[in-house]
Structure 1
């Protein structure tokens, strides 16, 4: 089992990375699951070059491949102008459009005020729904005043439990039989009719 964390924090240290680390630790506790973290600020130049030349540099290609291969994803962005950061959106813009299909995703964000908490519902959840990911019900927002206050730890635990439960279900689900496996292609039906004449 492997989880990939995408953190779009810009500063060092970053409250966005701190939230990402806490979510990852809660998700994999008492398991042997692996976690790989990508800091988007380290990939910013590669992301912008990908837009202009159409090819990811090796570091960006590694991050995109890891995201596509992950069993579950934890994504955390700071809030800028009442939405996710441009760097966060740009990373998912260069990701293959089918890479997240059916993939469990935990969405989270950080901001200076609790007034921005709806960014999870009006920006992040629709973005990942568009990418056909399976977004877990509990999203986590951490405002400046949430650090050290009651409630944040409980939200982190609940979201982590939902993500780990969903990834466990996805890994144990048997493959679905191919739809219409008993239906003959039209060419075969036509050939059979001609042979019968």
Structure 2
């Protein structure tokens, strides 16, 4: 029980730091905010921040599921499952979990913060490289066709980029909640279209 309480307290502290950091980054820009300022705003020591987040960029990209989830989904899929089907299901589930109405309301600001920071752009490129590498490894464990596996992983990374661009295009500024629900529906239709293109190309 004591271990459980400590773990819950640790997770609560981590989430509080992350929430404070995200608010500061979106308000002032990533490069304009220091880790010391995040620590002060969260009422913790600087070392506490680094205990939870090894680098400043980790405070911004706090969710690793975007680049580790695809490989995990492939490894957990039943034998014989089509990898594109598995990846589409995983991507949709991830989007439904992360791109809630509340998150969509700040999505453009989130992307603009990345694009304004060389450090965040560099970290995002590393994340994409990690995604493709881990996904390729997971696919190689299921199929000996290494060339096809590498292609699937690269196409999945490209699909994510295309879909994020589509979301930016259809997401209006200062949208009302009802309008955000419509955007979610349109985005899921775009997901279906993109993965259908992947299937046709791979066949």
Confirm or deny a common fold (TM above 0.5).
no
More strand by share: 1
- TM-score, normalised on structure 2? 0.31
Q: Which has the larger radius of gyration?
A: 1
TM-score, normalised relative to structure 1 = 0.32
